A and B are shown apart, each in its own frame.
Chain A
Amino acid sequence: MKVIISILICAFIVFIGITSVSARDFNYQLKANKVAKDTYVFVGKTEDFSFTNGGNIVNTSFIVTKKGVVVIDTGPSLRYGQQMKLAISEITDKKIIAVYLTHHHPDHFLGNQAFKGIPIYALAGTMSNIRNEGAAFTDNLYLMVGDWMRGTDVYEPTLTVEPSLISIGGHHLEILAYEGHTNSDMAILDHSTGVLFSGDLVFHNRTLTTPHANIAEWKKTITILQELPFTALVPGHGPVSNNKKVLNEVLDYLTWLDMSLKQAAETGLSMAEAMEIELPRRFLSNALLKKEFSRSIIHLYSSYENRVFTSVN
C-alpha cells in the first residue's frame, strides 16, 4: 500500500512538473489567418497586457509578394518576433525583405530584434518617439507581462519612410501618414488586394487607448480613412473587418469621449467623479470599456479642465 501511495505521489509531482513547464514555454501560439490573397494576420486577444497572454493583444501582419515577405509590426517582445518569423516560414519559404512599423507603442515594435539585418521602416515621428520613449515602454512591459519579455530590448527602426506609393513583387503599397492615436501613425493600403492596415487608428470590439492621443486629429483621420477604397480592414487590435462600420464605431466613441469630457469639465467634476459617468450601452460590447475610459480621463481630462479654468489671481 505504502509503495502505491509513494508511486502516486511521485506521479503527481511529475505531472505538476510537466504542466508547469508547458505553462512556461512562452509560446504565443501564433496562427496566421489568411484575410486576402497573399495577406495574413496574427490576430491578438482583445485583452490588456497580462502574465497569461504575454502581450499577445495586438495584430501583426505579413504580405507574401513575389519578391519576398513584407511584415507589418513586430509585436510586444523578442520571443513574439521570433515566433512570428517561424510562423511565417510555415506559410512561405520566401525571405522577409521589409518590415514596416505603424507607430511607436511597445506592443507594435518590441519584436524588432528578431528582424535584425532586414530593413525596418517607420515614419520620422515614430523613429524619434521610439528613441525617446522606447526604453521606458520596455521597462513597463517587463512589469506587466514578466518573463515573456526575456531578452527584449529596444531595437530602433533602421530607415525612415515618407508617405509614398511602393511597388514590391506585384503589390502596390501606399504608405499613409496620419496622427490622432499618436502624433505619428502609419497606415498601409495595399491597392493590389484592397486591404487597409490601419495600425492603432482603428480598434475593433475593443475600447480605444489614448495615452498619446489627440482626439480632434484622430477624428479627422477617421473621416479620411472612410474615403479610402478598401475591402478589408486590419485594425491594430481586434478582428479583421470587411466593412466601414468599424470606422463609424471608432468615430462614434471618439465623439462621445470628447463631448463627455468637455461636459464633465464644464460641470465642475473632479477626475475621480468623471470616471463614474454612465457609459452608453452601445459601447458595452467593446472590451475593457470601463478601464480604458478611466485611463483616458487620466490622459486627457487636464486639457479639458484648462479650457474651463480662467485666471483667478
Chain B
Amino acid sequence: MKKLGLLICCLLSSYACFADKLVTDPFASVQWDDMNAAFLQGKPVEFDERVKVKTPSFAENPMSVPVTVDATELANVEQIIIFADFNPIPLIARYYPSNTEAELSFRFKIQQSSPIRAAVLTDDGVWHVGGAWIDSAGGGCTVASTGRLVGDWADKLGNIYGKRWRAPNKDRIRFLINHPMDTGLVSGIPAFFIEELSFMTEEGELLAKIELFEPINENPVLTFDFKATNPTSTILMVGSDNNGNEFSAEFKP
C-alpha cells in the first residue's frame, strides 16, 4: 500500500513537472490561459517548434496580415486552430485536413500587437502550439471594409478567382473569394462572413474542411495543399456564409 502511495506521488509530481514545462508560453501572453481554456478543451498542450507560423513581424496593413502555417513535420494531424490572443475576436480559423498537407495560408485583420498561434491537434490527443509575435499600429478589426466604403461589394459577392498547381505528390490551390468579411465591430454593419469551405475530389472523397471566422480579411485569399489527389481529377469546393449565401468552385487539373 505504501508502495502504491509512493508511486501515485511520483506520478503526480512528474505530471506536475511535465505540465508546468508544457504550459510555459514563449510569448508570456496574459491571455494565454484564457485561449487555452477557450479553444484547447483541457487536452495536453506542447509548445512545439515543428509548428511554423510564418508572418512578417510588423503588420504593414492591419486589415490584411499574411500568414502561412506549416505543420507538415507532424504526422496524423486532425485539426489546426488559429487564433490571435489580443484580437477582440481571437478565433480566426479551424482547419480539418482529412486528406491534406497540414499547411495553409490566409490573411487576417489584426486589432493590436498580438501573438498569432496555430494549435495543431495530432491523433494522440495532444495540441502542438506554434506562434509568432506581430507588432501593429492596429485598427484592422474596427474599420469598415473597402467594399462597404466603395459600396460595390454586393455586385462582386461570391466571385471566386484562383488557380491550381501540380507538384510531385501534391496539388496546391490558391483562390480569392469576393466577400466583405464584416466583423460586426463596426457600428451599423452586422457580422457577415464566410463560415465554412469544404474541398473534395470529383469522386466525392473529402479532402479538407475549414471554418472561417470574422478576422479573416476582406476578399479572402487562401492557399491549401492536397496530397494524394488524382492529377486528372477536378478538385471541388463548396461553402457558405452566415447569411446563407452558398459558394462553389472547380479547380480543374
Q: Please, how many residues of chain A have a CB less than 8 angstroms from a CB on the other chain?
A: 24
Known: A143-B137, A306-B161. A312 touches B249 (CB 8 A): yes
CA distance in complex: A137, B162 (Å): 34
For B177, give the chain A residue with the smallest CB separation.
A313
| B contact residues around A273 at 8 Å (CB) | 54, 68, 105
Contact A272 B68 (CB under 8 A): yes
- The interface-forming segment of B17-25, B55-63, B199-207 is B55-63
Interface flag for B223 (CB, 8 Å): yes
In the assembled complex, B67 has its CB within 8 A of some CB on chain A: yes
From the candidates A140, A309, A313, name the one contacting B163 in the complex (CB within 8 A). A309
- Complex CA–CA separation, A306 to B66 (angstroms): 16
Is B165 at the interface (CB under 8 A from chain A)? Answer: yes
Binds A, one of B80-88, B168-176, B184-192: B168-176
Q: Within the complex, what minimum Cβ distance (angstroms) separates A299 from chain B?
A: 7
Q: Are B137 and A270 in contact (CB under 8 A)?
A: no
Query: A313 and B66: CB pair below 8 A?
Result: no
Find chain B residues with CB under 8 A from A299 CB. 60
Q: Is the interface of A mostly helix, strand, loop or mixed?
A: helix
Residue A298 lies at the interface, judged by CB distance under 8 Å to chain B: yes
Interfacial chain A residues near B153, Cβ < 8 Å: none
The reply on A308 being an interface residue by CB < 8 A is yes
For the residues of B in contact with A, the DSSP-based class is strand
Within 8 Å of chain B (Cβ to Cβ): is A305? yes
Q: Which residues of A contact B161 (CB under 8 A)?
A: 306, 309-312
With contacts A298-B56, A305-B174 known, is A267 near B165, CB below 8 A?
yes
Contacts of B248 in A (CB 8 A): 313
What are the residues of chain B within 8 A of A305 when measuring CB–CB?
174, 176, 221
Given A309-B162, A309-B163, the answer on whether A295 and B60 have CB atoms closer than 8 Å is yes
Is A83 part of the binding interface, using a Cβ–Cβ cutoff of 8 Å? no
5 further A-B pairs in the complex, CB-CB below 8 A; given A268-B223, A298-B66, A308-B163:
A270-B66, A273-B68, A294-B60, A311-B160, A312-B162
Could you write out 15 A-B pairs with CB less than 8 Å apart?
A268-B165, A270-B66, A270-B68, A272-B54, A273-B68, A294-B60, A295-B60, A302-B221, A305-B221, A310-B162, A311-B159, A311-B160, A312-B162, A312-B249, A313-B158
